[in-house]
Amino acid sequence: MTGYDWIVLTLGFVHDLSVAVYVGGAVAMEFVLAPAQASIPPAQAQIMGEKTSNRFLVLVWSSLALILITGVLRLQMNGMLNSDGLSMADSYGRTLWTMFFLWVVLAINGGLITFIFRPTLQGKLQPGSNQALVTRDRDAKMKAATWIQHLTRADLVLAIIVTLLGASLSRGGLF
């Protein structure tokens, strides 16, 4: 294999591995962690949710970044960025733009979880807070946890759709 072939192989390898980490992580959250969490007392479930989402988010952001970087570099290596390879007039371009759009949605969802819902979940009450504050804090945390669960589920469905679109690229695109 030439040096060029090795680069193309490495980019494809890292792209696919990152996709596997993203999709595998979302599957594990949905089908392994969520049922386990539902079967333990709420106070413990909250701590477990906090710890696992911290670690999960590291995986989410690293894999999303690697998917984008290797994806764009693959296009560059294929000569697609220099020509009209990404035109909406052909199936390859339409499929790729859809993949990019869905990647942006995954990144926005990751941002909502990281910067809005997770901080709510981790917020600590001042000592001596009154009952009304305690109740409001608990309700906000339950709402945030539900949002995280919905977004993670939506991300899983979207990532599976992008995986199908990506796989279709070798046949010229899906639609």
- Chain residues binding ligand HEM by CB under 6 A are 12, 15-16, 19, 22, 67-68, 71-72, 74-75, 99-100, 103, 159, 162-163, 166-167, 169-170
Residue 75 Cβ vs ligand HEM, minimum distance, rounded to whole Å: 5
Residue 146 Cβ vs ligand HEM, minimum distance, rounded to whole Å: 24
Residue 170 Cβ vs ligand HEM, minimum distance, rounded to whole Å: 4
Collect all residues with Cβ–Cβ distance below 8 Å to 110 and sequence separation of at least 6: 57, 60, 61, 64, 155
Query: 27 or 167: whose CB is closer to ligand HEM?
Result: 167
Element (H, E) at 69: helix 42-78
Query: 48 or 93: whose CB is closer to ligand HEM?
Result: 93
3-state secondary structure of 85: coil
Residue 122 Cβ vs ligand HEM, minimum distance, rounded to whole Å: 28
Q: Among residues 31, 40, 37, which one has the least CA distance to residue 152? A: 31
**How many whole angstroms separate alpha carbon 8 and alpha carbon 154?**
31
